[in-house]
Every structure is written in structure tokens, then in C-alpha cells.
Amino acid sequence: MVILKAMKYRIYPTKAQAELLEKQFGCARFVYNRFLAVRREYYLAHKDDPQKNGLNYYDTAAQLKELKKQPEYAWLKEAHSQVLQPCHYINPDMPLSIREWDCPVCGAHHDRDFNAAQNILEEALTRAGSARSHAEGVSVSPIFGLAVHAELGSHPL
């Protein structure tokens, strides 16, 4: 049995803090929607070409850097870079004994235990959602067709 627990928090930002939060959320929303549209357009333009699977994070991150250089999108520089584009830096040489570290690229502070807990929670919620959908009668796998007569019933091994 999966028990889901939720906590609600209410913050009371000052007027200046509220304005800053609105800028961060607005920029993040803009970037998300813009690059969702870019990825859709790319897919529609290249869906018949097996060599072009689609745009990935690194493709759109490069486009975002160029977008920020354009004068009409200079307002994107007001948002924190981690809000718009986490760097996804990976250090394969880091020993597991180091539990917390600061990213040399973007300066973000990382806690491996906290990140692991988030990943486990996300996986559990994904699996719980699949199980719940299945229990509610929602098809979670494709239906390929009816079984042929020879496949019906029990068969000795």
C-alpha cells in the first residue's frame, strides 16, 4: 500500500519579494512554452526523417543562450540562470564519500542524499500513478489485438 503525504505551506512575501518571484515564474513560463513550441515545430517538420529524432535539452539550452543576447529578450537576464536552465553538469570522477558539492559551472549547491530522495519519490509516484490507473481500468499498455484460438485457456508446460 502506498501512502501519499502532502504538506502545504503559505508564504507571505514582501512586495519586493513578490515582484521578484513573479519575474522568476514569468521568465520560466515563457522559456518553457517557447521551447515546447520550438520542439513541436521541429518534430512536425522532421517527423518523417529517421536521422532527426528531435531536439534535446542541449539543443534548446544553446538556443536560450542566443535568445538572451537579443535586445528584445534582454529581460530574460533578470531571472536567475538556474530558474531558466539548470546546467546538468556531471562529474564522473567525484567519489561517493562527497555528499554535498557546489557546481563549478553554475554555482548550484547539491546534496546527493536530498537528490536521491527526490528521485526515489518521483519514481514511487510514477509507479503509484500507473498502478492507480490500472486499478481504475485505464489501459496502461497498448492492445495489439485479440488472441487466436490456440492461445486461449491454460496449457501444460
Distance of CA 107 to the CA centre of its chain: 20
Q: Residue 124 and residue 40: Cα distance in Å, rounded?
A: 29
Higher pLDDT, 150 or 129: 129
Over residues 114-142, the mean pLDDT reads 61
15 class by beta-carbon count within 10 Å (0-12 exposed, 13-18 middle, 19+ buried): exposed
- Terminal C-alpha separation, the chain: 34
Q: Higher model confidence: residue 153 or residue 41?
A: 41
Side chain identity at 15, as an amino acid letter? K
pLDDT (tens digit, 9 = 90+) per residue, 7-64?
888 888 899 888 888 988 898 899 889 988 998 998 888 888 877 777 877 788 888 8
Global model pTM greater than 0.75: no
